[in-house]
Structure 1
Amino acid sequence: MKIQGWHKEKSQELSGKSYKNIYTTVIDFEVTLDLSGYILPTAEVLVSPSFDEYLEAYIVDGNKCKEIILKKTVVWEYDLLYKLILDLARRRGFHYNLSVTYPQSNFIVKVMTDHSFGKNVRTYGFIAAPISWLYKRNSINYKASLR
């Protein structure tokens, strides 16, 4: 969690014959907290049909480049947490702006096929993508010229 207290300061700058207002953001404080120890490792899988059926379909699938991507999401009462932090800041005498954000890392898990073709496509994808694009483009042009 990143908590940041800030305010804007106004200054004026001479622009030609008139003054122009300039607003600058001033960071009063910044606190970063690691809340990963407060995340319960319970899981609710949101997949239709069931997760077991989803995995079974993955196992049976003959695609040599198949993969499953799981995104972990933390569900908290974010509004309530913000109000509690804001209340604490106000009681401590801070009456400016407050922002609370929840940066995430390591929230995506990928399961990829162990097939050598799939590994090569992932490894050399930066080469294969343009070749694939050219092949598809030429293939479409060729089909269009047959008509």
Structure 2
Amino acid sequence: MAPLVLAAERSCLCLLSLSRAVNLKLPAPPILQLEECCTHNNSATLSWKQPPLSTVQVEGYILELDDGNGGQFREVYVGKETMCTVDGLHFNSTYSARVKAFNKSGVSPYSKTLVLQTSEGKELQQLQPRVLRHSSGHPEQPLQEHQH
């Protein structure tokens, strides 16, 4: 009986080792590129990239946007591109966006959340698109406005 128990213990150790190896191959969270993210009227363009030192292969990205009222996030893009324009947003609304990467091993953690403000309305269109702020998780950092 003892040899069977040892074999079972060895199997468990093998499985743990394989599990750890797979986890190491998950992509790193993408980085939203603030200088390329903007809103125009009721559209938002978002751009992201993998961290410069990341060596893990990425198969694609999942971009999520909330409903403009602080509600739940929903997928608005899944694919290989690193830039996406989302049309048909509500005017005069604040949206939160985030992106994650995926490969055969699984899904990365989310990027930092980007908060975007759409224009006030068709008759009050802003001439310059803007990013309201990039949420870094550090409340001591001032809000930044980025204009093109």
Give the TM-score, by structure 2 length.
Answer: 0.23
Q: Which has the higher contact order (CA 8 A, sep 6+)?
A: 1
User: Which structure has greater strand proportion?
Assistant: 2
Give the TM-score, by structure 1 length.
Answer: 0.24
Rg: which structure is higher?
1
User: Which structure has greater helix proportion?
Assistant: 1
